[in-house]
Amino acid sequence: MGKIVYEDFDNNPDIIVFNCMAHARLKFSEALANDKARAEHVLAEIQKLYAIERHLTDNNINGNSKLEYRKEQALPILQALGGWLQQAYVEVLPSSAIGKAIAYSLKRWDKLSFYASTDFLNIDNNPVENSIRPVAVGRKNYLFAGSHAAAQRSAIFYSLLATCKNDQVNPVDWLQDILTRIAGYPINKIQELLPQNWKQMPNSTTE
């Protein structure tokens, strides 16, 4: 089911699909016992990529400067590693752990590398996975929402409150303010009341 969904996203021109380097890294960690030399080489190169991302974060480098730094530092590593993976794949057994790890990354290499040609994508999906972990932990509780419509409404609120958290918006302030405005607000401007837009509105309060 998940594979079909991703294929549908990939065919949508309005959606950018890229892959998570943390998942690729895990495959090579699992292959250490099978082929330590090759797995360690890939893990060391991936570690260089993460060091570049830490440098960008630690120095608050964003926008075009971030893009240029990634192009200068990360893209050459990604290009060299992609070539190495192609060469290594013909030297290993496809059914081995290292063979499966290499095949996994090779199939997705363009999407694994895509983040480095932008200034807004992350190297992996960890921030998103961390943000939805509370939802995953409580999943069984959500079976008792009462009805399908109630579950959908709950999902909307979870998304809005998660957006507040992501954009450093106080959810109580946001709710108190928009609930006094929304009844008479123009429907064609309703997106202005979303948390990420609301914090830029006059008289709004953020944390």
The pLDDT tens digits for 57-93 are 999 999 999 999 999 999 999 999 999 999 999 999 9
8-state DSSP, 13: T
pLDDT for 131 beyond 80:
no
The share of the chain scoring above pLDDT 70, in percent, equals 86
Band of the pLDDT at 200, cuts 50, 70, 90?
Answer: low
Q: Helix or strand or coil: residue 162?
A: helix
Q: Global pTM?
A: 0.66
Give the C-alpha separation, 24 to 22, whole Å.
5
The share of the chain scoring above pLDDT 90, in percent, equals 63
Give the C-alpha separation, 30 to 39, whole Å.
9
- The CA radius of gyration of the chain, in Å to the nearest whole number, is 22
Burial 110-122 (b: 16+ CB within 10 A, else e): eebbbbbeebeee
pLDDT for 179 beyond 80:
yes
Q: Is residue 171 a contact partner of residue 164, using CB atoms and an 8 Å limit?
A: yes
- For residue 138, what pLDDT is reported? 66
Q: How far is CA 77 from its chain centroid?
A: 21
Q: Where are the domains of the chain?
A: 2-124, 127-198
8-state DSSP, 118: -
Band of the pLDDT at 204, cuts 50, 70, 90?
Answer: low
- For residue 199, what pLDDT is reported? 73
